[in-house]
Amino acid sequence: MNVIVDYQAGNLANLKNALDHLGLESQIATDASAVKAASHILMPGVGAFYPAMESLRQSGMMEAILEQIAAGIPFLGICVGLQLLFAEGQENGSHPGLGLIEGSVVRFKHQLKIPQMGWNQVAFCREDPLLKNIPDHSYFYFVHSYHGVPSKPEITLGTTDYGLSFTSVLQTGNIWGVQFHPEKSQTVGLELLKNFCSF
């Protein structure tokens, strides 16, 4: 079962709608037992880093997610769901994240408008099954003020330019993360979700 993690960090209906549209069954998880039943875990999220992390912890789902990832279950973090994978988030002070990816989540430090809101291109760094049938430099829909900076550059799967070139897709082992919203990125976004759920 594809499981969408609901930790009170934004609306999950649109991710579920996208999976429904693809004919993929999914279930929204609000507790650890539902996470433990997952074959694939999708973790969306909007909002601030610390409250998201807190609610993940308090719901008891954090440990279940870590266990599942350790057991090899494919995991896809979306937007804040990607950012939480990092060791540290710097939104409103320094806060620890899940620590599955070395590095920090930092705010854009340029003069462009923040948040980055709209469609931007992703340049692929290497081949990966997540990006199957998706043309390089496709546009995806972004809404964010912070971005993750992995310590190991080799985990970057795609980059996007917004005042600087930042990591917009990453992969390490059975963990994938995308800074954009595939559920709002039309054809290419749906393709990405389909790819993930077929792992």
- As measured in angstroms, the least distance from the Cβ of 172 to another protein is 27
- As measured in angstroms, the least distance from the Cβ of 19 to another protein is 11
Asked about 125 being catalytic, the answer comes back as: no
**Minimum CB distance to another protein smaller for 77 or for 103:** 77
What x-and-dash track marks residues 125-164 binding another protein by CB under 8 A? --------------x-xxx-----------------xx--
From the list 68, 83, 104, 116, which residue makes contact with another protein (rule: CB under 8 A)?
Answer: 116
The first and second tokens of residue 122, run together, are 């992703």
Residues 53-72 that bind another protein (CB under 8 A): none
Residue 6 interacts with another protein (CB under 8 A): yes or no: no
Residue 11 interacts with another protein (CB under 8 A): yes or no: yes
Alpha-carbon distance of 16 to 42, in angstroms, equals 10
Q: Which of 40, 181, 191, 197 is catalytic?
A: 181
Asked about 181 being catalytic, the answer comes back as: yes
Residue 121 interacts with another protein (CB under 8 A): yes or no: yes
Residue 165 interacts with another protein (CB under 8 A): yes or no: no
3-state secondary structure the chain: CEEEECCCCCCCHHHHHHHHHCCCCEEEECCHHHHHCCCEEEECCCCCHHHHHHHHHHCCHHHHHHHHHHCCCCEEEECHHHHCCEEEECCCCCEECCCCEEEEEEECCCCCCCCEEEEEECEECCCCHHHCCCCCCCEEEEEECEEEEECCHHHEEEEEECCCEEEEEEEECCEEEECCCHHHCHHHHHHHHHHHHCC
Residue 118 interacts with another protein (CB under 8 A): yes or no: yes
Residues that bind another protein (CB under 8 A): 10-11, 13-14, 17-18, 20-21, 46-47, 112-121, 139, 141-143, 161-162, 181, 183-187, 189-190
